[in-house]
Structure 1
Amino acid sequence: MASSIPLRPLASQSELQAFYIGKDINDVPKPAVILDVAIIRRHCAAMLEATRELGVGFRAHVKTHKTPQIAHLQVGDIPNTPANFVISTVLEGETLLPLFQELFRAGRPVNVLYGIPLVPSQVPRLAHLAKQIAAGSISVMIDHPDQIDHLRGFRDIAGFAAGVFLKVDSGYHRAGLPPDGLNKGGLVEKIITMEKEGVIELIGVYSHNSLSYAGSTLEEGMQFLREEILGCREAIRQHTHLLSARQAKGKELVISVGATPQVVSIKGLLQGGALSPSRHELKALLHQEDSDDIGRITVELHAGVYPILDMQQLSTNTHTGPAEDEIAISVVAEVCSVYNNAERSTPEALIAAGSLALGREPCPSYPGWGVVSEWRRPKGPGRLIVQRISQEHAILGWEKGKGGEEGIPLRVGQSVRIFPNHACVTGALYGWYLVVDSSREGEGEGERVVDVWTRPTGW
């Protein structure tokens, strides 16, 4: 099915590897996007360890990177454990199909959730994808009764039922239904009927609350997570009269919640010593599997940008390390002019990379479009940021207008590394990532390309 969809031409991975591997990132064609696999491995391992210690499920969102290499790191190599994913485009699923098949052959249950309310035209592609993995491998998100009937076509093609998550709006208002409105147009009743017919299998309720992106403390992240779980529990509670037959049979419902800031915040539950009342309540909510009023439930956390991070994520302060240690993605760009001789009110530099290389996403913690790494340049009087941005170029300057007597410590032709505000958008501007490994020993080895990872750029 995937091969019948026209895609933009791309050099083969072997051609890209032959050209790039071994090059210092200063010497590659620019702008280029770089990933540090050492940081990615560390973040992925930390997430798997935290969810294991807390005894909760985990679903890895792949929309940030769209690569099988990072997706595999997100679920690890833990025998017999579920390998659950979220995709935002069907093309992501088709790209990662060999990985899904590999994980299934290794004995791991695989479930891939199409992470936006069901787009009817995508049902055949999803069904063909499911058919190549296994029964129970594909789930969809539902928040309108008109979406459900299209899943009959899924069963006809795949030969088995699609899984279904009901989408709950826990306050973000991007998609989903409020807890008291989950049965919009008889939606829950329709799902129960179609489950009895074998057309679908109800898995649970799903919420994604990116309001946590505006938080600035670990405590706020945990509070957002607590509220999201409570909202999903309330959605189930208000419709137990419709779900009672399932409950009587002991069928479980999954509450899937998260976004990177609140999921990363669970590390606050693993610190030594007595937990505060609010943290104790959150920990209890994560483990409350049986409840008289809502039946058997389990909690599953989902997150996506955490392996890579970006300036926006650092603004939530759920990660406390410096950008150089925490952010795995950077854009290498070239300086094409420097204005240090009073041409302007403050010193500035011009780089040959703009919104089509960096993205144009704001960050709440500073007034810029990217932060320049200290890589291979002298330190200055403050932080060097992307102050203004156009399509193909941008202006660098000192944050808050600090100039210093020596101006911007850059020269024409010099390369800079920029940490973007939003990794998902920045990555989408490129057809491949250049991979470095900062854990490699030897001078300059951590800045040498060790691999090239291609990624899809369509739908």
Structure 2
Amino acid sequence: MHRHCKSLLDAVEYLGVGFRAHVKTHKTLEGVRLQVGEAKTEALLVASTIAEIEYLQPLLHEFIENGRQVNILYGIPLPPSQVDRLAAIGRQLGQGAISVMIDHTSQLNHVARFADQASFPAGVYLKVDTGYHRAGLPPSGLNKDDLISKLMNLDSLGKINFIGLYSHSSLSYNGSTTEQAMAHLEGELRGCLDALEKNSSLFYSDKEITISIGASLQVTSIENLVGAKSALSEDAKSLRRTLHKVVTDRHCGFRTKLELHAGVYSLLDVQQLSTHSRADLGDYEDEIAISVMAEVCSVYNDSERQQPEALLAVGVLGLGREPCAAYDGWGIIDRNDYSSNTSNPDRRLIVKRVSQEHCVVSWGVGQIVRIYPNHACITGALYGWYYVVDSSEHGERVVDVWERASWWETSIAR
């Protein structure tokens, strides 16, 4: 985890772009420290829930006391039920510490209410849909119901502080090469530039506009541009040119600033590795920082079934049920937990079937195995803490316990 966080920080510094760390995967204070590093004067974060932001407050206060510029973005278009809690956090952290995103005119009232309660305006990103279709407005429809015009008016009145455009696109999860990952990042960036161009007459020309883009796969693909030992591919050259233009040139008369955001890169998972977004990544055992330890409770290896299988004491509630395009299963067993003396070293033991509390693999009784999950964000959310091991010690000793912000509050179960 330390290595993944450092390599991305080194890459964004090498390219001269900004970085905003998403905390939703690990949800820990210690993980945030690794993501923002110690050298930078700013700590820019994204959180998916207000509970995460509340949990991070002591660390954010520490950063501020040490002279770091702190800003945390609430990572969904602002719902009215969360304004009071967000404003209370803002009052504690101070002006400039809170940002939100919007993609509908009704949310402007909520942002104005934040300013009244916090006594300072929130930073505001306009959410752009660059093709992923989870949230946001398309470039050609960004001014739906005069959204931009009303936003600029509130900015002039001091009710908001307009920052720029924000896109999150996970289309790169469908890729399988470094070239595809880089192309997805460039495509997302061009989508935001298109939104700026199509609506240029509506933004105030004296504003510096931040373009914030990313998902872990396409963002970490920039590491392929750092210290390349061989000639760059055409995709890599095109991405580097586009990144450079946003940082150095004016677009439609505006000064632009580039900010990348990512989260699951810090842990990685089977799904992330299967896309090959970075050329220098190793195998599951080398790269995935999160795993689930599970006990083997029964074995079926005497022709009871078509092939030998074993029952493990973990299921959907401990692994999640996120599929992965790379294979037909729900988790990969660590190769160190079984003999590697096989005629087919590429063959892996996998979690083949899952139920609520149990799963089925091929194995032997009584041992504990390590399972690498398909999706670190989902699997991590099923636990209250991590037992932390140090890979430099061969991962044989627990050196720390990290507590997670693991509660959920924006929906009510009835």
What is the TM-score when the length of structure 2 is the normalising length? 0.94
Question: How far apart are residue 260 of structure 1 and its match?
Answer: 0.6
* Other-structure match for 1:163: 123
- Output the CA distance in 2 between the equivalents of 1:457 and 1:437: 23
Native 8 Å contact 2:83 2:110 kept in 1 = yes
**Residue 260 (structure 1) aligned with residue 216 (structure 2):** yes
**Residue 112 (structure 1) aligned with residue 65 (structure 2):** no
Q: 2:200 aligns with which of 240, 251, 257?
A: 240
**Residue 69 (structure 1) aligned with residue 34 (structure 2):** no
**Residue 140 (structure 1) aligned with residue 105 (structure 2):** no
Alignment of 1:258-407 (within 5 A): 258-270=214-226, 271-272=228-229, 274-288=231-245, 289=247, 290-319=249-278, 320-379=281-340, 380=342, 382-397=347-362
* Larger deviation, residues 356-365 vs 276-285: 276-285
Native 8 Å contact 1:155 1:199 kept in 2 = yes
Q: 1:430 aligns with which of 374, 378, 383?
A: 383
Aligned-pair identity in percent equals 55
- Output the CA distance in 2 between the equivalents of 1:292 and 1:449: 51
- Output the CA distance in 2 between the equivalents of 1:363 and 1:273: 31
Q: Which amino acid aligns with 1:293?
A: C
Change (3 A) 1:359 1:294: farther
Q: Which amino acid aligns with 1:386?
A: V
- Output the CA distance in 2 between the equivalents of 1:141 and 1:43: 27
Question: How far apart are residue 453 of structure 1 and its match?
Answer: 0.8
- Output the CA distance in 2 between the equivalents of 1:84 and 1:128: 19
Between 1 and 2, higher relative CO (CA 8 Å, sep ≥ 6) is seen in: 1
Question: How far apart are residue 292 of structure 1 and its match?
Answer: 4.8
Native 8 Å contact 2:125 2:162 kept in 1 = yes
- Output the CA distance in 1 between the equivalents of 2:241 and 2:117: 42
Native 8 Å contact 2:180 2:277 kept in 1 = no
Native 8 Å contact 1:166 1:204 kept in 2 = yes
**Alpha-carbon deviations, 1:184-236, whole Å to 9, x = none?**
11100010000011100100000011111111111000000000000000101
**Alpha-carbon deviations, 1:382-411, whole Å to 9, x = none?**
2100000000000003xxxxxxxxxx4x2x
Q: 1:83 aligns with which of 24, 35, 43?
A: 43
* Other-structure match for 2:411: none
Q: Which amino acid aligns with 2:239?
A: L
- Output the CA distance in 2 between the equivalents of 1:294 and 1:338: 68
Question: How far apart are residue 133 of structure 1 and its match?
Answer: 1.2
Q: Which amino acid aligns with 1:348?
A: E
- Output the CA distance in 1 between the equivalents of 2:211 and 2:354: 41
Alignment of 1:84-99 (within 5 A): 84-99=44-59
Native 8 Å contact 1:68 1:96 kept in 2 = yes
**Partner-residue secondary structure (3-state), 1:306:** helix
Question: How far apart are residue 79 of structure 1 and its match?
Answer: 4.5
Q: Which amino acid aligns with 1:316?
A: T
- Output the CA distance in 2 between the equivalents of 1:311 and 1:237: 38
Question: How far apart are residue 377 of structure 1 and its match?
Answer: 2.5
Native 8 Å contact 2:21 2:263 kept in 1 = yes
Gapped runs of 5+ residues in structure 2? Answer: 409-414
- Output the CA distance in 2 between the equivalents of 1:187 and 1:140: 15
**Partner-residue secondary structure (3-state), 2:391:** coil
- Output the CA distance in 2 between the equivalents of 1:373 and 1:118: 41
* Other-structure match for 2:62: 102
**Partner-residue secondary structure (3-state), 1:71:** helix
Q: Which amino acid aligns with 1:121?
A: S
**Partner-residue secondary structure (3-state), 2:161:** strand
**Partner-residue secondary structure (3-state), 1:135:** coil
Question: How far apart are residue 287 of structure 1 and its match?
Answer: 2.3
- Output the CA distance in 1 between the equivalents of 2:17 and 2:112: 32
Native 8 Å contact 2:26 2:404 kept in 1 = yes
- Output the CA distance in 1 between the equivalents of 2:97 and 2:25: 21
- Output the CA distance in 1 between the equivalents of 2:330 and 2:275: 17
* Other-structure match for 2:172: 212
What is the TM-score when the length of structure 1 is the normalising length? 0.85
Q: Which amino acid aligns with 1:342?
A: S
**Residue 231 (structure 1) aligned with residue 225 (structure 2):** no
* Other-structure match for 2:412: none
- How many pairs were matched up? 399
- Output the CA distance in 1 between the equivalents of 2:90 and 2:39: 23
**Alpha-carbon deviations, 1:44-63, whole Å to 9, x = none?**
01010011001100000000
- Output the CA distance in 1 between the equivalents of 2:296 and 2:61: 45
**Partner-residue secondary structure (3-state), 1:456:** coil
Gapped runs of 5+ residues in structure 1? Answer: 1-39, 398-407
* Other-structure match for 2:6: 45
- Output the CA distance in 2 between the equivalents of 1:357 and 1:170: 33
Q: Which amino acid aligns with 2:391?
A: S
- Output the CA distance in 1 between the equivalents of 2:257 and 2:231: 25
- Output the CA distance in 1 between the equivalents of 2:329 and 2:81: 39
Question: How far apart are residue 294 of structure 1 and its match?
Answer: 4.5
Q: Which amino acid aligns with 1:321?
A: G
